[in-house]
Amino acid sequence: MTDVRPTAGAESGVLHTLFRTDQGGHEQVVLCQDRESGLKAVIALHSTALGPALGGTRFHAYASDEEAVRDALNLSRGMSYKNALAGLDHGGGKAVIIGDPDLIKTEELLLAYGRFVASLGGRYVTACDVGTYVRDMDVIARENRWTTGRSPENGGAGDSSVLTAFGVFQGMRAAARTQWGEPTLRGRRVGVAGVGKVGHHLVEHLVEDGAEVVITDVRAEAVERITARHPQVTAVTDADVLIRTPLDVYAPCALGGALNDETVAALTATVVCGAANNQLAHPGVEKNLADRGILYAPDYVVNAGGVIQVADELHGFDFDRAKAKATKIYDTTLAIFDRAKSDGIPPAAAADRLAEQRMAEARAVR
C-alpha cells in the first residue's frame, strides 16, 4: 500500500475546497494506491461527531483524479447530514474507487481497498454505492471488518437499495401530502430518471400506489426490465426529454447534479423527490426551485433508507426493525417542509439547519 500526494493542479483546486470553503471542513481525507492491483481510491471522512463515519464506496470512471476527490468530499459531507437526520449514531464518510468497474474491478483490487479501510481502525464503515454490489462487500469484508451491505449468508443485510427506494417513496408521500393534501401518488404522473438498483424498486412502489409512471435510463436493458413487467409504464429517450414531459413529480435516481439552472427552468413537475445524491448542481438551485413553486424533498433526507439498513447490520440485522425506522422518513420530511414554511426558507436549507443542530449538540456533549 502506498500513500500518494495530489498533483500541483489538484492542490490549487481540491485543497482550496477542503481547507478554505464551506464545502470543506472534513476531518480526514485519505488517498490510496495499490499499484499491483491497479487500485486508486479516495476515502473522505467529513465528520465523526455522532459516531464512526458511515457511507458507501462508489466505483466510477471519473474524468480526472481531481473530480474523484471532489466527489468524495461532496458525498461524504452529504452523508454527515443524511445520517444526522436519519437519527443514526454515525458521522459522514464516503469512498470512491477511480476507474471503470467493468474493466478494472478484480478480487485483488477489492481486497487492497479493504486493507486501506481497515487501516482507519473503525473510523470509517463502508457499504455499497454506484458501481459496487453486495458481492463486492463480501470480498472487502475479508480484509475489513467494518464493512456493511454484505450478503445474508455472510451475516449482512443484503441489497440496501430495497429500503433506499422505500424511504424515497415515504418522502414522496410526504411531498404529496404537503402539495396536494393527501399522502398518495394515486393518479399522479411521476417521472423516474434512472431505473437501476434503486429506481426499479421505486417504480414498484409507485405502480402499487396507483401512479402513472414514465421512466428513462441510459441502459436499454434497465428500461426493458421495467416495461416487460409493467406494460403500463412508458419510457422516453433521455432525462432531457423526461423533465420536459408533463409531470406531477420528477424523481432523479441516477448520478448527482440533475438539478441545475437549465433543468429547473424546464421542469414541468411541481414536486422533485428522488434517490440520487447531490441533486443540486450548485448553491442557489434550491431557491430557483422554490421561486418556481416546485417543492423539493432534500435528497439526503429521503434517500436515507439504505444507510438505515446498513447501520442496522452492525447490530445484527433485522429487516422489520430497519424498515420501521425508514418509515419515519415520512415524518422527517414533513417536519422539514413545516420548518421551511415557518422560517421562510427552502426545504434544503431547513434540512441543513436541523442536521447541523444535531451535529453541534453532539460536539457540545463530547
Q: Give the catalytic positions in this structure.
A: 94
Centre a 10 Å sphere on the Cβ of residue 226 and count the other Cβ atoms it contains. Answer: 21
Q: Where are the beta strands (DSSP E) in the chain?
A: 2-3, 28-34, 39-47, 53-60, 91-98, 124-128, 189-193, 212-216, 234-235, 249-252, 271-272, 295-296
Instruction: Let me know how long the chain is.
Output: 366
CA angle 225, 227, 230 (to 5 degrees): 110
Measure the CA dihedral 196/202/205/209, to 10°: -120
Alpha carbon distance 258, 339 (integer Å)? 25
Please answer whether residues 92 and 120 qualify as being in contact, where contact means their C-beta atoms are separated by less than 8 angstroms: no
Alpha carbon distance 211, 19 (integer Å)? 46
Please answer whether residues 165 and 192 qualify as being in contact, where contact means their C-beta atoms are separated by less than 8 angstroms: no
Q: Look at residue 175 and give its three-state secondary structure.
A: helix
Side-by-side strand order, sheet with 2-3: 2-3, 28-34, 39-47, 91-98, 53-60, 124-128
Q: Which set of grid coordinates corresponds to residue 192?
A: 423516474
Q: How far is CA 6 from the centre of its chain?
A: 26
Cell 491497479 -> residue: 38
Centre a 10 Å sphere on the Cβ of residue 150 and count the other Cβ atoms it contains. Answer: 24
